[in-house]
Amino acid sequence: MLDIKWIRNHPDRVSEAARSKGVQDFSVEQLLHVDLQRRNLRQRVDELRAERNVLSAQIGLLISQKQLQEAESLKEHVRQCNAALNDYEAGLEDQEAQFEAMMLKVPNLVSAGTPNGKSDADNVVMKVVGTPTMFAFEPKDHVQLGEELDLIDIPRGVKVAGSRNYYLKGMGLYLHRAVQQLALDLLTDQGFTVMDVPLMVREETLVNAAFFPGGKDQTYELVDENKWLVGTSEGPLISYYANEVVDLSKGPIRLAGVSNCFRKEAGSAGRDVRGLYRVHQFAKVEQVIICQNDEAFAEQMLEEITQHAERILELLELPYRIVSVCTGDIGAKNYKQYDIETWMPSRQNYGETHSSSSLLDFQARRSGIRYQREGGGLHYCYTLNNTAVASPRILIPLLENHQQSDGSIYIPLALRPYMRGMSSIPCQ
C-alpha cells in the first residue's frame, strides 16, 4: 500500500506503475475522486458533531436556568442535526469502504532499474553461472527418471487427488526433504530464524502481505471459516509482526519459513502439464527480511538473499542464470524483482526456480509494521523476500542434470549427509 498523501502529489507515477504492470481494474483518477468525497464528508460530519455538542451544552445551560421553552426549541435543532448527521455518516461509511477497497488495488511503484517490457520474454539476463549440461547419451526427462527409479508416481497422484498431483517415494522423498534441510542449515548459519508457519490463515493475513485482493483466484479457500491455504510462507512470516513496532537496533530481522504450499494454478490449463513443474501442492523454504526504511540498504538485502539462493544452486551443482524481471512480468506488489532460472534439459531451456523481491514499505504499511528510527519517530519498515528453494520443482533440474549413462542419479556432495550418505540413486 502506498501513502495516500504521496499518491495525491504523484498521481502520474502511480498511473504509470499500474499501466506498466498491466493492472486493469484500478484508476488513480477514481481513487482521488473518492478520496476527495470522503474527506469532504468527514469534514461535514465533524462540523455537525461539533454543532450538536454546542447545542447540547446550551440546552443544558437553559434547563438549569429554567428556560424550558428556549431549551425545547434548541432540542428541535439537535434532532434536525442528528438526522442530517445520520445521512452524512452513512455516506461517509460508504465512501470509506470504497476508498479502502481501491487502496488495496494500488500497485507498488517500480524501481528505476526495472527493464520495460510486456512479458517474461522481455526479462533481461543479468548473470549466467555454469553451462547447459551436455550428455554423451540420450537423456531422459524427470518423469521418466522418477518412474524408472521409483521416485515419483504421478498417475496415482492424479487418481487420488486429481490433475497436477503426485506421490514422492523412497529416495524421491529423501531428495525433496534434503534440499529443504540444506537450505534451512545454510540460512541458519547466515543468522536467519527458521520457523514452521501456519498453513491456514485468516484473509487479513494475505491482504496485509499484499497477496489479496488480486491473488484470490490462485488461492484455496476454506469455505465458511474465513481461512485460506497459503501459497508461500511469506504471508505468515510478514504477519508475524503485524501491527507491531519491531526492534531494528541490532540490524534487520531475518526469517526463514518452511512450509507446504498450495496453489490453484488458475489460468495455466495446457501449460507445463507433464511432470512436476506446475503442481497444486509443493514445499518451500522462504527468506523474509524486515529492515530499516532505506532504499540503498534494501538493495544490499536484495543482493544478500539472492546470493543465498545462488549458493544453494551452487551446492546442488546446477547451472543457472539470473534475470531482471520487467515491468510487465513483475508482481503488482513488488518494487524490484529478480528471478533465478535453472537449466532443465528436458525443456532445453532455463526454468524459473527462485524469485527475489524488494517491496520497500508496501507490505509493512498494509501490515502496520514500524520501527523507531534513531533520533526520529516511528517509520514503516521495508520488506524483502526470496525463494531459498522450492520442491518438487527443483527436483526437475536435479534429476535431469545429474542423470548418468547407467540410469542412476548422481547426488551432489552437499546433499549426501541428508541422503543417508548415498553418492547416487542407483537404477532399479
- Ordered domains of the chain (ranges, CATH): 4-103 (1.10.287.40), 120-425 (3.30.930.10)
Query: Binding site annotation covers 282?
Result: yes
Q: Is the pLDDT of residue 310 over 90?
A: yes
pLDDT digits (tens, 9 = 90+) for 329-357: 999 999 999 999 999 999 999 999 999 99
- Read off the DSSP letter of residue 240: T
Residues 201, 227: contact at Cβ < 8 Å? Answer: yes
137 is in an annotated binding site: no
Whether the Cβ atoms of residue 362 and residue 238 lie closer than 8 Å to each other: no
What is the sign of the dihedral through the CA atoms of 190, 192, 195 and 197? Answer: negative
**Would you say 290 and 364 are in contact if contact means Cβ atoms under 8 Å apart?**
yes
* pLDDT exceeds cutoff 80 at 409: yes
> Is 402 within any annotated ligand binding site?
no
- Known binding residue 385? Answer is yes
pLDDT at 271 over 80: no
**For the purposes of burial, counting CB atoms within 10 Å of the CB of 243, is it exposed (0-12), middle (13-18) or buried (19 or more)?**
exposed
Instruction: Give the Cα separation of 297 and 248 in Å (integer).
Output: 13
Q: Which residues are identified as catalytic?
A: 263, 278, 352, 355, 393
> What whole-number percentage of the chain has pLDDT above 70?
100
Cα-based distances in Å from 211 to 2, 13, 29, 238, 400: 15, 22, 24, 11, 33
118 is in an annotated binding site: no
Averaged pLDDT for residues 98-117: 96
Question: Does the pLDDT at position 21 exceed 80?
Answer: yes
**Distance, CA of 360 to CA of 367 (rounded, Å):** 13
Q: Is 70 annotated as a binding residue?
A: no
The most distant pair of C-alpha atoms in the chain lies apart, rounded to whole Å, by 108
The whole-angstrom separation of Cα 302 and Cα 298 is 6
Question: CA 103, CA 315: separation in Å to the nearest integer?
Answer: 43
Residues 242 and 369 sit within 8 Å (Cβ to Cβ):
yes
- Which pLDDT does position 123 carry in this prediction? 98
Q: What is the pLDDT of residue 67?
A: 82
For 225-240, how does the pLDDT look when each residue is reduced to its tens digit (9 = 90+)? 989 999 999 999 999 9
Read off the pTM.
Answer: 0.92
Q: Is the pLDDT assigned to residue 56 strictly greater than 90? A: no
C-beta separation of 220 from 228 below 8 A: yes
Grid cell locating 225: 471459516
Whether the per-residue pLDDT at 263 is higher than 90: the answer is: yes
Q: State which amino acid sits at residue 339.
A: D
Residue 37 is labelled as binding a ligand: no
pLDDT band at 72 (very low <50, low <70, confident <90, very high): confident
- Inter-residue contact 397 to 342 (CB < 8 Å): yes
pLDDT at 75 over 90: no
Q: Which position has the grid cell 542407483?
A: 426
What is the C-alpha separation between 414 and 317, in angstroms, rounded? 9
Q: Is 383 assigned to a binding site?
A: no
Q: How many Å apart are CA 29 and CA 299, to the nearest integer?
A: 32
Q: Which of 298, 318, 316 is nearest to 386 (CA)?
A: 298
Inform me whether the pLDDT recorded for 54 exceeds 90. Answer: no
- The CA angle 291-292-294, to the nearest 5 degrees, is 120
In degrees to the nearest 10, what's the CA dihedral of 203, 22, 111, 394? 60
Helices 68-103 and 28-64: crossing angle, nearest 10°?
160
